[in-house]
C-alpha cells in the first residue's frame, strides 16, 4: 500500500486531530503517502483532497474540532454519489481509507467497500461513547469533563437559591455522558434512554428529598430520554410540585468543543496508529478500538448493529449516593 487517505465524518469530537496527526505520522513513518479529505464524504465526492505530511499536522494535537472539517452528505447515500467518490479516489491513487467517525460513517464505508472494494479501517470518533467494540470513543472523556465543569457551576447557583435544575446533556441514543455527570456532579436523578424512568418517579424522588430537608436538586437528562428533553420533563415536574423553583440548562454543543483531555489525546493517537497499521496488514471494514487496555479490531457490521450496554451498577450508584 503506497497511498492512503484520512477523513472525519459526522459530529466533531475533541481528539480527532490527535487521531489525524497519528495517521499522518504513522503513514509517513512507514513510507506511505497520505492525503486528507476535507469535509468527509462530501469532500470525497467533490475531490477536496490535500497532501499531508508530518509538518501539516504540527501543533494540532491540542486543538479541538477537526482540521479536516466535517459534513453530512446526502449524495453519498446514492449509488451515483458513491461512484463519483470512487472515481476521485482512483484519480488520486488512493488504495485505502481511514475513517474517523461513528455509526453513520462506518455504514457508508461498508457499502462503499462492498461496491468498489476500497478497504477502510475506522477510528471511533464521537463524544457519545456508544460504539460497540471499544471501551471509550475519541472525544468522550473531554465531553464528560466539559459537561461536569458546567454542572459544578450550576450546583453552586442551585444551592444558593434553593432551586431544582434540570440539566440536559448530549446523548441522543445513549446515557454514557449523563451517568458519569450524574455521579461526578452529585445529581439526585439521571434520566437516560436505556432505562425507563417516568416523570412520576422523578416527582416522588424529589418529594422524598424535600422531606429529608434537601433544598436544592440536580436532575441530569440525556437529550434522547424517552420522557422528553429537559424542558419537557421540568414542565411536568413543576406542574406536579408547584412550590419547586425549577430552572433548565441545556449544555448543548459546548460538549463537542475545547481542547481534548490527555486521555483523548492518548486514545486518538493509539487508534490513529492502529488504523494505518491495520490497513497495512490487509484489514478492511473494521474499527480499531481499545478494550481492557488492549487493541482490538471489530468488524463494522458488529459496531453498527450491536448495542453497547450501560453498566447498570452505575444507576444503582446514583440512587445510593443521592440519599
Q: What amino acid positions are annotated as catalytic residues?
A: 128
Residue 45 contacts residue 85 (beta carbons within 8 Å): yes
**How many Å apart are CA 153 and CA 6, to the nearest integer?**
38
**What does the block give as the cell for 289?**
478500538
Q: Is 230 annotated as a binding-site member?
A: no
User: Annotated binding residue at 259?
Assistant: no
Question: Is 171 assigned to a binding site?
Answer: yes
Establish whether 170 is an annotated binding residue: yes
- Ligand-binding annotation for 223, yes or no, is yes
Ligand-binding site membership of 236 (annotated):
no
**Residue 161 annotated as binding?**
no
The annotation status of 239 as a binding-site residue, yes or no, is: no
**Residues 82, 112 contacting (CB under 8 angstroms):** yes
Q: Where are the alpha helices (DSSP H) in 134-261?
A: 140-161, 178-184, 199-211, 230-240
Nearest partner of 261 among 123, 148, 151, judged by Cα: 148
Q: How far apart are CA 42 and CA 40, in angstroms?
A: 5
The answer to whether 304 is a known ligand-binding residue is no
Query: Residue 116 corresponds to which cell in the numbers above?
Result: 468498489
CB-CB contact of 128 with 12 (8 Å): no
Residue numbers in the known binding site for Mg(2+) are: 103
Residue numbers in the known binding site for ATP are: 11, 72-73, 102-105
Residue numbers in the known binding site for substrate are: 126-128, 163, 170-172, 223, 247, 253-256
Residue numbers in the known binding site for ADP are: 21-25, 155, 186-188, 212, 214-216
Residue numbers in the known binding site are: 11, 21-25, 72-73, 102-105, 126-128, 155, 163, 170-172, 186-188, 212, 214-216, 223, 247, 253-256
Amino acid at each position: 500500500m503506497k497511498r492512503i487517505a484520512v477523513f472525519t465524518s459526522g459530529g466533531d469530537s475533541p481528539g480527532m486531530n490527535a487521531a489525524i496527526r497519528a495517521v499522518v505520522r504513522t503513514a509517513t513513518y512507514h513510507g506511505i503517502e497520505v492525503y486528507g479529505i476535507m469535509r468527509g464524504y462530501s469532500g470525497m465526492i467533490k475531490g477536496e483532497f490535500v497532501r499531508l505530511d508530518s509538518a501539516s499536522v504540527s501543533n494540532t494535537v491540542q486543538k479541538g474540532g477537526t482540521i479536516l472539517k466535517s459534513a453530512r452528505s446526502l449524495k453519498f447515500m446514492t449509488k451515483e454519489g458513491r461512484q463519483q467518490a470512487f472515481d476521485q479516489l482512483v484519480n488520486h491513487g488512493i488504495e485505502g481509507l481511514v475513517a474517523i467517525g461513528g455509526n453513520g460513517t462506518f455504514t457508508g464505508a461498508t457499502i462503499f467497500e462492498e461496491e468498489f472494494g476500497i478497504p477502510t479501517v475506522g477510528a471511533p470518533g464521537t463524544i457519545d461513547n456508544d460504539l460497540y467494540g471499544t471501551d471509550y470513543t475519541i472525544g468522550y472523556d473531554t465531553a464528560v469533563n466539559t459537561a461536569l465543569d458546567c454542572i459544578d457551576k450550576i450546583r453552586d447557583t442551585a444551592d444558593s437559591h434553593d432551586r431544582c435544575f434540570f440539566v440536559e446533556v448530549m446523548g441522543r441514543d445513549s446515557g454514557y455522558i449523563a451517568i458519569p455527570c450524574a455521579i461526578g456532579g452529585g445529581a439526585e436523578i439521571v434520566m437516560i434512554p436505556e432505562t425507563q424512568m417516568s416523570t412520576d418517579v422523578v416527582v416522588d424522588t424529589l418529594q422524598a428529598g424535600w422531606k429529608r430537608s434537601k433544598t436544592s436538586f440536580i436532575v441530569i437528562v440525556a437529550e434522547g430520554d424517552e420522557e422528553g428533553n429537559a424542558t419537557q420533563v421540568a414542565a411536568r415536574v413543576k406542574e406536579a410540585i408547584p412550590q419547586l423553583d425549577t430552572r433548565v440548562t441545556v449544555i448543548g454543543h459546548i460538549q463537542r468543543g475545547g481542547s481534548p483531555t490527555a486521555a483523548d489525546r492518548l486514545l486518538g493517537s493509539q487508534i490513529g496508529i492502529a488504523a494505518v497499521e491495520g490497513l497495512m496488514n490487509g484489514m478492511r471494514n473494521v474499527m480499531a478500538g481499545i478494550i481492557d487496555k488492549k487493541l482490538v479490531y471489530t468488524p463494522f457490521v458488529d459496531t453498527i448493529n450491536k448495542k453497547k450496554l450501560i453498566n447498570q451498577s452505575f444507576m444503582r450508584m446514583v440512587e445510593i449516593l443521592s440519599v
